[in-house]
Amino acid sequence: MNHVICHYSEIGLKGKNRKFFEEKLIYNIKQVLKPSDVEFAKRISGRILIKLTSKGGKSQEHIQRALYHVFGVAYFAFARESEQTIEAMQKTAYELIRDKEFKTFRVLTKRSNKNFPIISPEVNKKVGAYIFKHISSDKRADLTNPDFTVYVEIVEKYAFVYVEKFQGPGGLPVGVGGRALVLLSGGIDSPVASYYAMKRGVKLDFIHFHAYPYTNKASIEKVRKIITILNQFQFTSTLYLSSFADIQKQIVAKASPKLRVVLYRRFMARIAESIAQKNNSVALVSGESLGQVASQTLENIYTISNAVDILILRPLIGQDKQEIVEKAKEVGTYDISILPDQDCCVRFVPKHPETKARLKDVEKAEKKLKTKKLIKAAVQEVVKEKISF
Ligand code: ATP
Ligand code: MG
């Protein structure tokens, strides 16, 4: 079978933007499939039709895995093309079903080309009757809960038949929702937050803060690997590496230990905001989840947000740790996230940090630091690298 039909859901609702969404989706599909596997990918009334080269047709598993990473795809199927006549559809359907194991079946037709003269229920009946006639007699029709469904799609000048549907990842094509900059730590949460932002169509850049040379480079290696996995969804990424050691030294020397975590986060947000502005990112993304750790109380999140004007998205705000862990395993980042590293932020953090850091107190503490100068220096020293698919 050398056609794949991709159906999408929400894109259909986007009115005038629909073309833009569809083009992005096609572009993204082409990015994930090997170019040598694709003869063409194009829109045909409300679907994307992919024609695989004969070479591509051989690696169904590869294509399945690849399409599972294209946000915007609701479901897809490997389909066989038939002529747009009832006889050809009957034959194709029979060929696809005859070797399958099942007791009950049904035929389900979608007739998008309303010029085709036979309405869907009639196509169902005719194709079903043909299958009955040619297949062993113990098979029964079951229209509500069959073991097996034969799908027929009559679209434009084409007719396609398939017998298996694969669930896509849903969401919206990466790139239709603008850009955001993720604060990526190397822990479990921020890669999952990245997943959810990409799922709603946002193209991501990443910033990681490290304390090298005071720590080793493990966290940097981890974020590179995590980004390689996230690239399955968005193909290429930019990573900004920011040295946080000087800022930490100042905070440790001059501010109350209880306020350190919130101060670290405020500085991170400011540096990220500055990078985002230079890079046309409209928002920051963080992996915070309400109440998960001391720095993530409502009060502290408020105090952190207050350091910047830029919008901070927190896609995990309402998720339990266990839900996040499960998603991380599904996305494939979990095994990397749990590798040991020397996270810059656990350095010099007291056992009992402030859970309700008041803005007033934090601002007072920052007066003793050379905040602007530190931020400016840090931004200047940020190192940018591309991580490709
Ligand atoms: P994660 O698993 O993402 O590290 P966490 O539960 O460990 O999250 P924190 O360590 O409090 O939570 O960090 C909260 C968020 O701040 C992270 O999800 C991430 O977005 C950001 N962050 C923390 N440390 C760093 C870092 N070193 N570099 C970049 N972002 C960071
Ligand atoms: Mg962390």
**What's the 186 CA to ligand 2 centre distance in angstroms?**
7
pTM, 2 dp: 0.93
Q: Buried (b) or exposed (e) across 62-83, using 16+ Cβ within 10 A?
A: ebeebbbbbbbbbebbbbbbbe
| pLDDT value, residue 150 | 96
Give the pLDDT confidence of 330-351 residue by residue, as tens digits: 999 999 999 988 777 666 778 7
Report the alpha-carbon distance of residue 122 to residue 107 in Å, rounded. 10
Atom number in ligand 1 closest to CA 186: 4
Residues with CB under 6 A from ligand 1: 183-185, 187-190, 208-209, 268, 286-288, 292-293, 295-296, 343-345
| pLDDT value, residue 347 | 65
Atom number in ligand 1 closest to CA 292: 6
Percent of the chain at pLDDT > 70 equals 97
Reply yes or no on domain 3-167 having CATH 3.40.50.450: no
Q: What average pLDDT score do residues 11-26 get?
A: 82
Whether a cis peptide bond, with omega within 30° of 0, leads into 353 is: no
> Which of 2-16, 117-131, 183-197, 364-378 has the weakest average pLDDT?
2-16
Looking at the domain 179-388, which fold is it? Answer: Rossmann fold (3.40.50)
Q: How confident is the model at residue 58 (pLDDT cuts 50, 70, 90)?
A: low
Mean pLDDT (the chain) is 93
**What's the 112 CA to ligand 1 centre distance in angstroms?**
48
Atom number in ligand 1 closest to CA 188: 2
Q: What average pLDDT score do residues 179-197 get?
A: 97
More confident of the two residues 197 and 11 = 197
Give the pLDDT confidence of 234-248 residue by residue, as tens digits: 999 999 999 999 999
| pLDDT value, residue 191 | 98
Please say if the pLDDT value at position 50 is more than 80. yes
Ligand nearest 343 Cα, by number?
1
DSSP state of 136: -
Q: Give the start-to-end residue ranges of the domains of the chain.
A: 3-167, 179-388
Give the pLDDT confidence of 244-283 residue by residue, as tens digits: 999 999 999 999 999 999 999 999 999 999 999 999 999 9
Assess contact for 180 and 281: CB atoms under 8 A: yes
Report CA-CA distances (Å) from 376 to 5, 270, 384.
51, 10, 16
What beta strand segments (E) does the chain contain?
Answer: 3-7, 38-44, 47-52, 75-82, 104-111, 140-141, 148-155, 158-162, 166-167, 179-183, 203-210, 237-243, 283-285, 311-313, 383-387
